[in-house]
Amino acid sequence: MNHDAYDDSYIREILNGVKTIAMVGASPQNVRPSYFAFKYLAERGYDMIPINPGHVGKNLVGKPFVASLKDIGRPVDMIDIFRNSSHIMPVVDEALTLSPLPKVIWMQLGARDDAAAAKAEAAGLKVVMNRCPKIEYGRLSSEISWMGVNSRTLSSKRAPMPTHGQRLSLNRMSVGGGSTLAADRAAKDKTDPA
């Protein structure tokens, strides 16, 4: 696997195929990138589990923190590692002790460990490094285009404005949708003939 460039089909298959995501290094502080990624993925219908031993007893968007992967107590499809590169191998080692094994190890932006990736792939897991599932989801579902970002996904039609319960191109339902003032104004302007 070339971990310097991923085909969109590989990322899309992962995001369509996983349901439960354990985020190692999640933070309850609403200014941290892990908070935004966690909340976004939870709003897109993923069953999110925050992993951080320093925050056990707290919740992140209604989901209770657990101390480690082994404390989850149920199968997990994907491990999203929100830690720096020096902490990846221990997380992968712990993930490989789970039964059943997760399907995917995902390392966030700036995180890369080729040895850990090779170990996970040797055990049959898919691996993504130095990418954010929130960004990839937004890019592949065309949600990100509403923010003026080039998604590199070609289409002759503009993506529909996400709304609550809308089926997105990644075959998932939006839970939060486009509940912003701008989205509400745009929807009102379309229905108001004035």
pLDDT tens profile 103-113: 999 999 999 99
Q: Residue 146: its pLDDT value, please?
A: 52
Residue 137 has φ and ψ, to the nearest 5°, of -60, -50
Question: Can you count the helices (H) and strands (E) in the chain?
Answer: 6, 7
CATH 3.40.50.720 for domain 8-135, yes or no, is yes
Whole-prediction pTM value?
0.77
The span from the CA of 38 to the CA of 61, in Å, is: 8
**What is the amino acid identity at position 79?**
I
DSSP strand pairing (104-107 vs 126-128): parallel
Segments in the chain below pLDDT 50 = 149, 151, 174, 176-180, 183
Q: Residue 1: its pLDDT value, please?
A: 85
Per-residue model confidence as pLDDT tens digits over 166-192: 555 565 554 544 444 554 555 555 555
Strand partners, 107: 81
**What is the amino acid identity at position 157?**
K
Contacts for 148 with CB less than 8 Å, ≥ 6 apart: none
**What is the amino acid identity at position 99?**
S
